[in-house]
Structure 1
């Protein structure tokens, strides 16, 4: 097929690009356990309103008690020290007074001594592979050298989740039919812009800057980077392709959303909405049941016009090679990244680690789609503090669990193990490899609890508790409502707090509570619940990424997508959120992104004196509802030109570094 005919074949696929971020809106039809909303309603209907804010903050939302909350926000949060900023939306970013917000890296910035200058009018795959990638999401930091937490050098690890092609290319803005203007070259540029960046950063006089000639700098892409598969599914027939008959090698990683850093200094990349990159038909397809359960073919990116492996009819198994957790050694730019099949295949949002009491590593991860599940993995062996190299094998073997929540506030982690609880030939599983390739279907059989789009999951090593961001679920039906939890068509989300039994993350049992129910507490019909002292700017909608800073404080980044006009009327941002005592559930707004952007990847330095933030797809979401623009945002006509505000530059996803004026801890 010629390039021209391939491009025309992508007609319908290109239109889906604009719907890509909202792909989580469509739950996959299948029989499910009781919705989490039912369980929460049953639980909280029996809880006493008189328990008080510190232990039952949700009860405050029941009778509209929050509607009269102070707009001045005079109440502070113990441990936090900043004046909050206001809700709003405009073309630039805003940070709490007393802090600086400096741009560290932008899409297209050089990463190597021989990187070409960024020219948005003359992009190429080769240039992009030497430049900072697009849509920065997860951020990780590890000191240089490893173990020296006081070093003024660090390696910054960045996920490049996806591309907003109409904001990247002038030709797509100016074409009469942009579907026909999308070319194989654009597809290859998109592949090169996906993946990740590892870049050395250095602090000088209190400010951080990239080191563009560092030998540690590296671009990881969907276009070129060779990776290994390991664990129970590696080498399985369902992972073999014409290019890789071994089933153990794969080119690239894609849609890397949140992620994690391990205690041994490696970088974990979570592959999320991998379904959107594959096109084709499932008619008589050997993986029909499997692919339907994860939404393949999504067809949001017509990459098949440049690479036939993204056509599920040409390469029936290629899609089974995505949806995993990828481990990268940032200290060795020549190392081969590893996709760990032991951690399961689903739309991973994050993979944060914590150690169990016996030293085994525990990794929590959400499956980012409405009515999907919460997972954790426990390694078979313990971390060896004196053998970093040996620790890099820890994620190759272990047990994956899925969560079931009970209405009495208890919960259980259910093992996804072949041969147990129906995960056998009677349900179409012939091995542990099958269980892990079809993790979602295995979790269905175990009667796991469907959640309201579980995204980032963040353990707090200082308290032993775990926080899970449930971003929203507009598809919850009216039948799930009641007087205590009136959250049908929930476009605001909530945060679940999980306490492992005995404080041990390897425990099978846990208890749970809701820390907040997001949305405007001044509108009783929403049913939001924050601390009663939360100000008019201290509440948020659609919690997404979570971060626990070196002091044990919780920070919440939001992602409302195109729904921001209804969910809050304000741009996304970063909030401090109290989890303890009388201020539990009290939020304060710290940072706000430009119109159309998403707040991602909060990451503190070990001393707490710098906060790295990822601002992705500025100008993209909801531009039609932004009154000063009021129309679609494109390369030629964007809703903002942040951060350059140069008429020759499109908006550019960027990393921001926050420091306190005069020095000291951020926030």
Structure 2
């Protein structure tokens, strides 16, 4: 998730959860206060109180299975990667995607060209091997989401997005969405295949999508341009995502609320839109030029956003589908676990302060011998929301019409209403308020689930974890399903256990009360996305470190054994940039990462860095980077 430019960050920092539901901070405080649990935490990840590097800690570093040496956590104009590795720019904002795309022209305003070029602010990356169903790690499709735009870094003379002209707004709309490119590794270097039949731009400008599942066709999704309530043009604010066992990708619609404006009191959706943070003033100029973004003129249009979108990257003619069964909120992503009984489970965080963690269990099971039969598995199933307990358990509560308070008495007249207003339904069930749950991923090696909680600067109550009364550094939770390790874990179960993997912050600052392995070589602030390599190790990308002294980037740590929570720093973003979309090839020899909004906080005319081109007159350009080991071999092994 992006913190975005200053005015957006201020708005996004305002929680919209009005309930008194239990907060995860209180539960962590209570659990850490219990003597037995705290002793167990000390035994596995320990509290590093005095600093990261001491003579005693140096010996502990030998426990890590990660073979690279950490790089300094130092902000610079360009990126940095661990010694012995290459980090090559693969594709940049404005680069060619489809065969007839024109070359990038710095500062140009051309929506038609942009609709064929690589979009802005790359985020989620999904590597899909070629051919479909293979584990080819040297030839595949790279599927990349484009979360949002920084107009002030795209064109001269702008201070913020609201100053964009109608032509610039169209260009921004085209720069949103998703890119699919064919990539191949030749002589150890990755290249984009020009003219590929798979190449595709999916944008908010003209890509038609189908709405499926229980909410499809509901009156609350009908607009002047779609009386069926089943079609929509484009997708917005695509953050993290996921992949399915049948070879499709899932992309999230996160801060979609910021694209709409107008007086929500003049609609029948005021309560719904208030809970999602839609305000009279949009974050973008689009609302001035296009009626679909004005709730007074198209009162139901926002209900077509906030879903998970499923795309078949292997079929460039396929129509993307918004899967309403997975609920509507500010999805960070949706990552899929295939149970040993072939049940399909997807996890998703609602990325806002004090909102919730969700799990979806599909009604139909995966058929490994029939891809076509699997293509609509996510159309139907049960959505659950998490309630964390002081005894270390998690209850997954179903969001099903007719159960408990989810009835007509509370204005839920159907399952469609519950899914359109997922947040309000979860409020009524008493779900646990979280500190910005972002990426949530199951680990196929140990069977556990890791939850990135980025931060919560609005939390007022001090506790043992956040004695400054503001969780500015975030933390990582570890959930354990019953059943055993790896594929034996039952992710369909109603009750899990939960632990703390690490608590972010600087161990050298006693006030941070950071929790890591005592030999940690790096400190983590604002964990956001994650990847899990095929050895089960955790790779954590960061977004929005409040300290001006450290860059965002990529950390890694073991999750088991003597090196548990011993963090190392592998890749540093250039100044102003956020780390997104970490994705390994199946054999672990390449790590793709997305560098988003380099030079954030500055302008086109005076950028803080011109990464990655470093040419006069060329603005900073969000880019995908391919990281490989010099001489070949697996990353960090």
TM normalised by structure 1 equals 0.91
Q: Distance in 1 between matches of 2:30 and 2:162?
A: 53
Q: Distance in 2 between matches of 1:379 and 1:128?
A: 37
Preserved CA contact (<8 Å) 2:130 2:136 = no
Q: CA deviation at 1:73?
A: 4.9
Asked whether 1:302 is paired with 2:289, we answer no
Q: CA deviation at 1:72?
A: 7.9
Query: Per the alignment, do residues 97 and 72 of structure 1 end up closer, same or farther by CA in structure 2, a change over 3 Å counting?
Result: farther
Preserved CA contact (<8 Å) 2:581 2:594 = yes
Query: Per the alignment, do residues 326 and 77 of structure 1 end up closer, same or farther by CA in structure 2, a change over 3 Å counting?
Result: farther
Preserved CA contact (<8 Å) 1:285 1:316 = yes
Deviations 1:592-648 (A, max 9, x none): 000100000010001111110100000004xxxxxxxxxxx1001100000000012
Aligned match for 1:28, one of 16, 25, 33: 16
SS of match in other structure, 2:170: helix
The residue that corresponds to 2:514 in the other structure is 528
SS of match in other structure, 1:138: strand
Preserved CA contact (<8 Å) 1:255 1:274 = yes
Q: Distance in 1 between matches of 2:77 and 2:528?
A: 22
Deviates more, 1:337-346 or 1:25-34: 25-34
The residue that corresponds to 2:424 in the other structure is 441
Preserved CA contact (<8 Å) 1:271 1:347 = yes
Gaps of 5+ in 1: 1-15, 622-632
The residue that corresponds to 2:116 in the other structure is 130
Aligned match for 2:213, one of 231, 250, 259: 231
Preserved CA contact (<8 Å) 2:45 2:515 = yes
SS of match in other structure, 1:349: coil
Gaps of 5+ in 2: 484-488
Asked whether 1:249 is paired with 2:231, we answer yes
The residue that corresponds to 2:555 in the other structure is 575
Aligned match for 1:57, one of 32, 45, 48: 45
Q: CA deviation at 1:282?
A: 1.8
Q: CA deviation at 1:29?
A: 4.4
Deviations 1:237-280 (A, max 9, x none): 00000000000000000100000011111011100000000010
SS of match in other structure, 1:257: strand
| Pairing 1:110-121 to 2, within 5 Å after superposition | 110-121=96-107
The residue that corresponds to 2:415 in the other structure is 432
Query: Per the alignment, do residues 288 and 168 of structure 1 end up closer, same or farther by CA in structure 2, a change over 3 Å counting?
Result: same
Q: Distance in 1 between matches of 2:330 and 2:38?
A: 40
TM normalised by structure 2 equals 0.95
Q: CA deviation at 1:21?
A: 4.3
Q: CA deviation at 1:584?
A: 1.3
Preserved CA contact (<8 Å) 2:253 2:332 = yes
Query: Per the alignment, do residues 467 and 70 of structure 1 end up closer, same or farther by CA in structure 2, a change over 3 Å counting?
Result: farther
SS of match in other structure, 1:172: coil
Asked whether 1:653 is paired with 2:622, we answer yes
Query: Per the alignment, do residues 574 and 147 of structure 1 end up closer, same or farther by CA in structure 2, a change over 3 Å counting?
Result: same
Query: Per the alignment, do residues 358 and 179 of structure 1 end up closer, same or farther by CA in structure 2, a change over 3 Å counting?
Result: closer
The residue that corresponds to 2:501 in the other structure is 515
The residue that corresponds to 1:641 in the other structure is 610
The residue that corresponds to 1:415 in the other structure is 398
SS of match in other structure, 1:346: coil
Q: CA deviation at 1:70?
A: 5.1
- Cα RMSD (Å) of the superposition? 1.8
SS of match in other structure, 1:227: strand
The residue that corresponds to 1:490 in the other structure is 471
The residue that corresponds to 1:627 in the other structure is none
Deviations 1:291-343 (A, max 9, x none): 00000136111212232100000000000000000000001101000000000
Asked whether 1:170 is paired with 2:153, we answer no
Preserved CA contact (<8 Å) 2:64 2:557 = no
Q: Distance in 1 between matches of 2:184 and 2:324?
A: 35
Aligned match for 2:460, one of 455, 469, 477: 477
The residue that corresponds to 1:13 in the other structure is none
Q: Distance in 1 between matches of 2:322 and 2:37?
A: 47
Q: CA deviation at 1:22?
A: 5.1
Q: Distance in 2 between matches of 1:445 and 1:378?
A: 21
The residue that corresponds to 1:541 in the other structure is 525
Aligned match for 2:359, one of 353, 366, 376: 376
Preserved CA contact (<8 Å) 1:53 1:584 = no
Aligned match for 1:501, one of 482, 502, 507: 482
SS of match in other structure, 2:275: helix
Deviations 1:164-184 (A, max 9, x none): 0100011326xxxx6785211
Q: Distance in 2 between matches of 1:142 and 1:410?
A: 35
Q: CA deviation at 1:77?
A: 4.6
How many residues end up aligned between the 2 structures?
A: 626
Q: CA deviation at 1:123?
A: 2.6
Q: CA deviation at 1:486?
A: 2.8
Aligned match for 1:584, one of 558, 564, 578: 564
Preserved CA contact (<8 Å) 1:267 1:330 = yes
| Pairing 1:305-384 to 2, within 5 Å after superposition | 305-384=288-367
The residue that corresponds to 1:158 in the other structure is 144
